[in-house]
């Protein structure tokens, strides 16, 4: 079906395939259909809900059946020799076979938005043969949903490819369209959306093939998601092609029309969101290892820390150290480190499961600056003396690290950093300012990017130093963020002397080391675990709301967010598995995960405020430091959600803003 979409195949392939599946499941002979001798049409739709019991009635008399009712938008009915019709008998759905020339059957033919033929069918005591019950019908509908999604994924891939090429070749005002950043960012969003549609479609195909218990919910999830994605990408592609995009001459207009027809088939976005919410699905897939992690966390995470995590209270440094030492004793702290350096040597698939399941069970995050950042750097680029000096303290959580990268006028653009390190004998003398240095007020050491050469290309003049935070000339100044908390800092380095032995690698190698460091953080870049926990909390809050029109609207929004998070988890697993198999980590995948994960987090935090109603405006920074064993007022509980909303705005900024991530995606697509 993906290839059908890519090539805009117009014959009644999907209709034939669905009819063939129904006939085969019913034990009927499908050889005439396969040979193309007999064309079948599938007549089911009667309104907005394809899962409703058909209003078309079946009446039995002496073992014979007759059908009376109306079917709308039956694709290719005017071509069919035989029509499979759904009908109900005493409120129970069934599937019936009707001859297209049978008496009492009247077709009113018309054209669909994609150019295909269709018809409204009126049935009045039309003779029919029953071939199966409602179980056949449900299976056919769900397979139809997945097939439509797969076709849309193929169309989207073709649309994106044509659009990105067009942006690079079409000139306006003497420059390619791809040189305009606004179009680059829209192209990046089109790529990210297409990746999400592909990943969720593959998940649902697996669920259908394996007869998974949540296949019905996933079938609705993929229809809702892909319809939204198809609408956005179809419209964007036409707009970016300008006048040619609305011409009949260009494939783009035909692709958009077919996507519009797909959205009209087998239920709307709203219907499928509501159905998904009613059925429920496993956002993450259960494995033996996931169960092992869950059991360990629940048995070993101290109760006070677990309650802080569940409520959203601030986690102290002592809490982090306590939990990390528990993990170290289990051998589960440095999960990505090689065994020879004291790590667990886990695959990144296992690391992902560990991070998700730990967060789902209210464990604090692993503070990354030591174990996940400088640790792997020292193993790859550090000297034997550096590894011996620093790796044990990282493993034991006795040495706390921070990261000195950003500067007042050098955030995402690290190549423009100005902090200098001038060598004087056995020391570097460091001068400059670092910004947004998270947890520097807790840190013993900092891995810091500095400029050691101003006369070469900016990236080549950067080096990495390990700096003792207690060095003379070091000042840590708090920055209180939008949530009223002290997470981050500004650092002032005034003639700070750093031993030459604290240079990591060679002078000028800092840019290479920084890229290596970032590649090792990609397993956690989507950080889906805390979002899964937040979703659980929001769903529990939502369940307490009384029935009202507002509740219905919020329920639809929440279902949409859950589908997006489900999709993000699937895309994250997809990418992590590719990386585990040796695929390059230099593509746009990490940027896609960064953008979508932060946007979904922000969406969820906004829904939490909406559910709170008037209390959605409550937020007192002091509430975040209350005793977790106490009882909390409604306003205090609301304050925790206010903190998540406010601090959530930071996530799309630090670690490379989402705008920078879109630039990186566009560059990878050769758009820009």
Residue located via tokens 């609305």: 246
CB atoms within 10 A of CB 41: 28
CA-to-CA distance for 65 and 98, rounded, in angstroms? 10
CA-to-CA distance for 377 and 523, rounded, in angstroms? 16
Q: Hey, which residues does 30 pair with through a beta bridge?
A: none
Q: Measure the CA angle with vertex 285, ends 25 and 570; round to 5°.
A: 90
CA-to-CA distance for 85 and 96, rounded, in angstroms? 5
Identify the CA nearest to 508 among candidates 430, 433, 454, 434: 454
Q: Are strands 445-451 and 462-468 parallel, antiparallel or unpaired?
A: antiparallel
Residue located via tokens 């989507």: 526
Q: Hey, which residues does 107 pair with through a beta bridge?
A: 121
Whether residue 396 contacts residue 324, with contact meaning beta carbons closer than 8 Å, is answered with no
CB atoms within 10 A of CB 46: 18
The pair of structure tokens assigned to 275 is 């159905």
> What is the SS3 assignment for 335?
coil
Phi, psi of 613 (to 5 degrees): 60, -135
Q: Where would I find the beta strands (DSSP E) of 116-259?
A: 117-133, 171-172, 175-176
Whether residue 469 contacts residue 444, with contact meaning beta carbons closer than 8 Å, is answered with yes
Whether residue 289 contacts residue 353, with contact meaning beta carbons closer than 8 Å, is answered with yes
Q: Hey, which residues does 357 pair with through a beta bridge?
A: none
Name the region of 371 (left: φ>0; alpha: ψ -120 to 50; beta: rest): alpha
Q: How many CA atoms lie within 13 A of 133 on its CB side?
A: 4
Residue 521 falls in the annotated catalytic set: yes
Helix (H) or strand (E) holding 402: strand 401-404
The pair of structure tokens assigned to 475 is 């000042």
CA-to-CA distance for 671 and 162, rounded, in angstroms? 12
CA-to-CA distance for 359 and 309, rounded, in angstroms? 8
CA-to-CA distance for 257 and 426, rounded, in angstroms? 70
Catalytic residue, candidates 521, 599, 606, 659: 521
Whether residue 568 contacts residue 596, with contact meaning beta carbons closer than 8 Å, is answered with yes
Identify the CA nearest to 13 among candidates 197, 133, 151: 151
Name the region of 63 (left: φ>0; alpha: ψ -120 to 50; beta: rest): left
Q: What residues contact 21, with CB distance under 8 A and at least 6 apart?
A: 139, 140, 143
The residues assigned a catalytic role are 521
């Amino acid at each position: 079906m993906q290839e059908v979409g890519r090539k805009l195949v117009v014959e009644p392939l999907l209709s034939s395939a669905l009819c063939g599946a129904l006939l085969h499941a019913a034990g009927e002979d499908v050889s005439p259909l396969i040979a193309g001798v007999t064309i079948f049409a599938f007549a089911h739709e009667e309104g907005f809900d394809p899962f409703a019991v058909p209003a078309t009635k079946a009446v039995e008399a002496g073992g014979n059946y007759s059908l009376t009712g109306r079917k709308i938008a039956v694709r290719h009915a005017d071509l069919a020799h035989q029509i499979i019709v759904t009908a109900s008998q005493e409120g129970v759905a069934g599937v019936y076979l009707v001859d297209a020339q049978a008496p009492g059957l009247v077709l009113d033919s018309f054209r669909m938005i994609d150019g295909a033929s269709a018809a409204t069918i009126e049935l009045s005591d039309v003779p029919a043969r029953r071939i199966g019950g409602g179980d056949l019908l449900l299976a056919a509908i769900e397979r139809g949903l997945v097939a439509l999604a797969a076709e849309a994924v193929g169309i989207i891939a073709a649309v994106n490819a044509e659009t990105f090429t067009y942006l690079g070749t079409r000139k306006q005002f003497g420059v390619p369209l791809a040189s305009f950043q606004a179009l680059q960012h829209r192209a990046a969003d089109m790529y990210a959306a297409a990746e999400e549609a592909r990943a969720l479609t593959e998940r649902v195909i697996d669920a259908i093939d394996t007869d998974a218990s949540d296949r019905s919910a996933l079938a609705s999830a993929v229809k809702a998601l892909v319809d939204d994605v198809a609408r956005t990408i179809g419209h964007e592609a036409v707009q970016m092609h300008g006048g040619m995009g609305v011409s009949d001459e260009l494939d783009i207009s035909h692709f958009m029309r077919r996507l519009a027809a797909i959205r009209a088939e087998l239920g709307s976005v709203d219907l499928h969101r509501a159905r998904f919410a009613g059925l429920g699905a496993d956002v993450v897939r259960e494995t033996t290892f996931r169960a092992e992690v869950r059991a360990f966390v629940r048995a070993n995470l101290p109760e006070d820390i677990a309650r802080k995590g569940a409520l959203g209270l601030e986690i102290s440094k002592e809490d982090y150290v306590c939990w990390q030492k528990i993990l170290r004793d289990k051998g589960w702290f440095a999960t990505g480190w090689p065994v020879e350096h004291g790590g667990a040597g886990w695959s990144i698939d296992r690391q992902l499961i560990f991070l998700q399941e730990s967060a789902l069970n209210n464990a604090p995050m692993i503070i990354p600056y030591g174990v996940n950042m400088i640790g792997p750097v020292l193993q790859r680029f550090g000297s034997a003396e550096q590894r011996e000096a620093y790796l044990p303290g990282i493993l034991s959580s006795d040495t706390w690290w921070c990261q000195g990268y950003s500067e007042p006028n050098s955030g995402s653009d690290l190549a423009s950093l100005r902090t200098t390190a001038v060598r004087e004998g056995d020391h570097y003398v460091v001068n400059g300012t670092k910004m947004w240095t998270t947890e520097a007020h807790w840190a013993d050491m900092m891995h810091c990017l500095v400029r050691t050469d101003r006369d070469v290309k900016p990236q080549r003049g950067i080096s990495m130093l390990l700096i003792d935070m207690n060095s003379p000339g070091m000042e840590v100044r708090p920055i209180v963020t939008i949530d009223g908390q002290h997470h981050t800092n500004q650092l002032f380095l005034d003639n700070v002397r750093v031993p030459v032995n604290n240079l990591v690698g060679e002078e000028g190698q800092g840019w290479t080391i920084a890229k290596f460091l970032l590649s090792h953080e990609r397993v956690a870049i989507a950080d889906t675990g805390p979002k899964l926990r937040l979703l659980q909390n929001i769903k529990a809050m939502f369940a307490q709301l009384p029935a009202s029109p507002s509740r219905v609207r919020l329920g639809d929004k929440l279902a949409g967010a859950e589908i997006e998070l489900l999709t993000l988890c699937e895309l994250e697993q997809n990418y992590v598995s590719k990386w585990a198999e040796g695929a390059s980590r230099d593509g746009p995948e990490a940027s896609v995960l960064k953008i979508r994960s932060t946007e979904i987090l922000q969406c969820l935090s906004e829904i939490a405020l909406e559910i709170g109603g008037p209390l959605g405006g409550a937020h007192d920074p002091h509430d975040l430091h209350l005793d977790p064993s106490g009882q909390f007022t409604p306003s205090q509980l609301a304050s925790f959600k206010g903190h998540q909303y406010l601090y959530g705005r930071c996530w799309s900024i630090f670690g490379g803003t989402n705008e920078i991530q879109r630039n990186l995606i566009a560059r990878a697509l050769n758009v820009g």
